[in-house]
Amino acid sequence: IETQAGDVSAYIPTNVISITDGQIFLGTDMFYSGIRPAVDVGLSVSRVGGSAQTKAMKQVAGQLRLDLAQYRELAAFAQFGSDLDAATKAQLDRGERLTEMLKQGQYEPMSVAEMVINLYAGTKGYLA
């Protein structure tokens, strides 16, 4: 369903959320900034969750979710200041690389094995 101004707390979105096994929330701001698929992991929920994932995917996805959440929080604060220390700059750079890694072209599916390898490389710092 489409929300009004991204408000998922309205009557219809709340009811749909309560009767489904989860939802994927697509963010328009992410979409227009070139992130596709524009999945907002902070608002997306799955009741099935890890039980629908392979063991390898579970192992890499948890760390990725944490890394991206920290990056987005840090990026939100960093936009207000230009005096960033080296560690903060490195974490922002890593978050940008992880975000770029997740971008996927239309009609360009990836196998689970490819996804796991890419996610492992990204979360372990092997991306240049």
- Residue partners of 91: CB distance under 8 A and separation at least 6: 70, 71, 74
Name the helix (H) or strand (E) containing 114: helix 112-123
Instruction: Give the residue from 24, 118, 35 showing the smallest Cα distance to 71.
Output: 35
Candidate list 47, 72, 94, 97, residue with the active-site label: 47
d(CA 2, CA 127): 35
Residue 47 is among the residues annotated as catalytic for this protein: yes
Q: How many residues does the chain have?
A: 128
Active site residues: 47
